Structure 1
Amino acid sequence: MSALFRHPLALIACLILSGFAQAEAKPAAKVDALAVVKHYADLGHAIYSDAESSARQLQIQVETFLQAPDQEGLIAAQKAWQTARIPYQQSEAFRFGNPVVDDWEHQLNSWPLDEGLIDYVADDYFAALGNIGGDLNIIANARINLGGEIIDASTINAELLRGLHELGGSAANVATGYHAIEFLLWGQDLHGHELGAGERPYTDYSQGAQCSHGNCDRRAAYLRTAVSILVEDLSYMTKQWAPNHAGNYRSQLLALNKQIVLARIFNGMGSLSLGELGGERIKVSLEANSTEDEHDCFSDNTHWSHYYNGLGIENVYLGRYQRLNGDILRGPSLSDLVQQASPDVDKKTRQTLSATMASLKALSDTAEAKEKPMKFDMLIAEGNQRGEDILSAILKDLVAQTRAFEAAAAAIKIDPTATGL
């Protein structure tokens, strides 16, 4: 069996690739901008629906674990978290142009975070410079003193955590979202650039004498509340993209000039491709050799997060998405519009997308190798030439992909900066 199948997410990735390996047949009839925009909204609804449903499954697994904590239950909850990342990371192609998403995203996916805000940390832990919340330890303290202001944290609930999220205007004070939950399930990754993820013991959630590190009841309340907030936030976004909901974002989007909407779509793909994935998530970590800047740093799931970011970009251009249940949603796409205007430009764009996905697959294959796997935090270590080669190849392909988007937009006379925002 290939090493690709040795991770629970690898099988899903393979199914997606095999499902999309069919010939990219172009429709006999021409498509227009309105059809593309409508299908784009359908894609958004499907992806956010999957993100919501997978978060609900995570909630079920977390509750099962908390009812009777053991190692098996902790692993099941961790796997549910990893599965929940699959649709969410693909959804990020809908950022950077859709304000309803970008204004909301920080609640779910802010990183890196100062773990000391939430729970116990290692003795050599250092918070971000000047962060007033970096060592508050919400779980251990029922009363939080902020320069003389006392916050009653005796009850850990959604109101408390939402109020403490990005406390003092610091993005490092991440109290909610995927990465707060990730930290609560894995704990700190203390392996540096060596192999190994966080090793939080399941007894951190045991009650009574078996409780490790104290405050197990409050830690359970925090985890339960954080997952509930995640579900609530994703439910909100699913409704924003749902059809037949008067006044939601989808209805507003469909009412806009279609040239503006196409500009938003190109802007979202390009910004995620080069600025966020290529820049913030790969280049920054590589140049600084910084495990603190790794995206899914507690779980060592970063290679999959990057892979599904790339797939999300490809989804939008090609107008397709494979749902978690295996169903494939296809429809009028940017690729169709560009192909009608310039077959050569469309072909080049699709080739750059394929090249990027091949580079991202090389990253995931390396991380999931049966022998001597190298996770993202190992690849960014100073002097790791193999890691630099793999990540530099991804960056090169992301640059080419983004330039191809610029050419594709020009072919259909779209200015990606003309988003109307």
Structure 2
Amino acid sequence: MKKLGWMVLVAGTLVSAGCATDPLEESRARPVVERYAALVNENYTDVVTKAKELQTAVNVFVADPTEAKLAAARNAWLAARPAYGQSEAFRFYGGPIDDEDTGPEGLINAWPLDEAYIDSVRGAPEAGIINATLEFPTLTEELLTSLNERDGETNIATGYHAIEFLLWGQDESKTGPGNRPASDFETAPNADRRRQYLKLATELLVKDLESVQAQWAPGADNYGKKFGAEEPKEAVLRILTGLGSLSGAELSGERMTVAYDNRDQEDEHSCFSDNTKGDLYANALGIQNVYLGRYGNQDGKGLDELVAAVDPKLDEEMKKRLQASLDAIQAIPGPFDQAIDTAEGRVKVKAAIDALEAQTETLVDVATALGITLNLE
């Protein structure tokens, strides 16, 4: 994933008209910060569970590569994406997922991906790591990790999208996703290495996700414990930085506007499986989750309670913006690669981009109401 620049500044505490106390007063803000840490753990726990289910399906498939088992592995990949998509609301502030030195995000969800870096593609039957038997005679997790983004940001060797490409193959269909045959893993040249690569990439994905989840697990001396005890203004600053960066430059920008402007399938997030619309929706849902303090059936104190105490009208506007973005993404006719190239689809995509941009502006207003100046690039 391209690294996006952002800068945040903490201003002096602002007090709203009609509010005689600090909007991030300890007794009100601490439960929200603690709930955020718990919510992150709930989400990442779900992410790991779904990734392990994907790993099980992949192992069953590579042990006996049939079309039915390939379909099951694809379904497990699709089922794993919503939880991870929601968790991207926890990025962009140097937390465990994307710490500059130790964060594994680039190994987990990097894109766009040059297919020929991994495997054979149309017109290049001997391309990729899988077919480079002399250069890479033994495939290992360590090798795949070292090759990820080596010599270029599209040289993706690991993560969800490497697995996606292996399961679906190139998307050459005008109406649906890629359709790699199971025989690629059984009788095609280097089928054994293709099976091994898929198995290793999935094992590595689970391990990387577990490493992130462990940093938020309750009862441990980890990042989550430190976050929950952090000074409220600093913690809320991080939370809003994550939401604003995902909503603006990343989601409405990199993930939608680039593909919209270029009309290029290669610029969409999950281009092999045609799951891009689902990814976008999950990202927007993750932002809403954090604002409301909820994940799935779990609910607690969110940013909305802090904002409502300062400016009830702004809180209602923020909630409307969040739902409007979800509705606008849902209204995009799928698959996304077709929507960016048809008149009706482009209108819907642009409407979703506009909704996300408006949502981002309102998030900045929310920060201001809470005494924080949020400058997002």
User: One fold, TM greater than 0.5?
Assistant: yes
In the other structure, the counterpart of 2:22 is none
Written as runs of structure 1 = structure 2, the 5 A alignment for 1:226-375 is: 226-246=201-221, 248-322=222-296, 328-363=297-332, 366-367=333-334, 375=335
The Cα offsets for residues 76-135 of structure 1, whole Å up to 9 and x where unpaired, read as 00000001101000000000114322232111111011111111001189xxxxxxxxx8
- 1:31/1:336 contact within 8 Å kept: no
- 1:359/1:393 contact within 8 Å kept: yes
Separation in structure 1 between the aligned mates of residue 357 and residue 146 of structure 2, nearest angstrom: 38
Separation in structure 2 between the aligned mates of residue 345 and residue 302 of structure 1, nearest angstrom: 31
In the other structure, the counterpart of 1:83 is 79
Higher relative contact order structure (alpha carbons within 8 Å, sequence separation ≥ 6): 2
- 1:181/1:223 contact within 8 Å kept: yes
In the other structure, the counterpart of 1:12 is none
Partner of 2:30: helix, strand, or coil? Answer: helix
Partner of 1:141: helix, strand, or coil? Answer: coil
Separation in structure 1 between the aligned mates of residue 65 and residue 300 of structure 2, nearest angstrom: 45
Partner of 1:166: helix, strand, or coil? Answer: coil
Separation in structure 2 between the aligned mates of residue 124 and residue 217 of structure 1, nearest angstrom: 19
- 1:31/1:332 contact within 8 Å kept: no
Separation in structure 1 between the aligned mates of residue 224 and residue 71 of structure 2, nearest angstrom: 37
In the other structure, the counterpart of 2:121 is 121
Matched-pair identity in %: 41
Q: 1:399 to 1:338 in 2, by over 3 A?
A: same
**Which of 333, 339, 347 does residue 389 from structure 1 map onto?**
347
- 2:121/2:127 contact within 8 Å kept: no
- 2:89/2:246 contact within 8 Å kept: yes
Q: Is residue 61 of structure 1 aligned with residue 61 of structure 2?
A: no
Q: 1:244 to 1:416 in 2, by over 3 A?
A: farther
- 1:176/1:230 contact within 8 Å kept: yes
**Which of 36, 40, 47 does residue 36 from structure 2 map onto?**
40
Which runs of 5 or more residues in structure 2 are unaligned?
Answer: 1-25
- 1:186/1:199 contact within 8 Å kept: yes
- 1:264/1:416 contact within 8 Å kept: no
- 2:120/2:127 contact within 8 Å kept: no
- 1:31/1:337 contact within 8 Å kept: no
- 1:263/1:417 contact within 8 Å kept: no
| Count of residues in Structure 1 that have an aligned counterpart in Structure 2 | 347
The Cα offsets for residues 18-65 of structure 1, whole Å up to 9 and x where unpaired, read as xxxxxxxxxxxx961111111101111011111111000001001111
Shift in Å, 1:407 = 1.2
The Cα offsets for residues 190-246 of structure 1, whole Å up to 9 and x where unpaired, read as 23xx2121110001111xxxx02x111100000000000000001101101111211
The Cα offsets for residues 321-369 of structure 1, whole Å up to 9 and x where unpaired, read as 11xxxxx110111000000111011011001111111111112xx22xx
Separation in structure 2 between the aligned mates of residue 339 and residue 99 of structure 1, nearest angstrom: 27
Separation in structure 1 between the aligned mates of residue 353 and residue 339 of structure 2, nearest angstrom: 14
Q: Structure 2 length as normaliser, TM-score?
A: 0.89
In the other structure, the counterpart of 1:379 is 339
Separation in structure 2 between the aligned mates of residue 176 and residue 124 of structure 1, nearest angstrom: 21
In the other structure, the counterpart of 2:364 is 406
Amino acid at match of 1:166: E
Partner of 2:298: helix, strand, or coil? Answer: strand
In the other structure, the counterpart of 1:179 is 161
Partner of 2:130: helix, strand, or coil? Answer: helix
Partner of 2:49: helix, strand, or coil? Answer: helix
Partner of 1:102: helix, strand, or coil? Answer: coil
- 2:259/2:268 contact within 8 Å kept: yes
Separation in structure 2 between the aligned mates of residue 268 and residue 136 of structure 1, nearest angstrom: 38
Separation in structure 2 between the aligned mates of residue 154 and residue 317 of structure 1, nearest angstrom: 49
Q: 1:95 to 1:314 in 2, by over 3 A?
A: same
Q: Is residue 203 of structure 1 aligned with residue 183 of structure 2?
A: yes
Shift in Å, 1:262 = 0.2
Amino acid at match of 2:275: N
Separation in structure 1 between the aligned mates of residue 107 and residue 33 of structure 2, nearest angstrom: 27
**Which of 103, 123, 139 does residue 156 from structure 1 map onto?**
139
In the other structure, the counterpart of 2:132 is 141
Partner of 1:138: helix, strand, or coil? Answer: coil
Partner of 1:156: helix, strand, or coil? Answer: coil
Amino acid at match of 1:141: A
Separation in structure 2 between the aligned mates of residue 360 and residue 407 of structure 1, nearest angstrom: 23
Which runs of 5 or more residues in structure 1 are unaligned?
Answer: 1-29, 126-134, 145-152, 323-327, 368-374
Q: Structure 1 length as normaliser, TM-score?
A: 0.80
Separation in structure 2 between the aligned mates of residue 412 and residue 99 of structure 1, nearest angstrom: 22
Separation in structure 2 between the aligned mates of residue 314 and residue 110 of structure 1, nearest angstrom: 23
**Structure 1 residue runs of 4 or more that deviate by more than 3 Å after TM superposition:** none
Shift in Å, 1:251 = 2.1
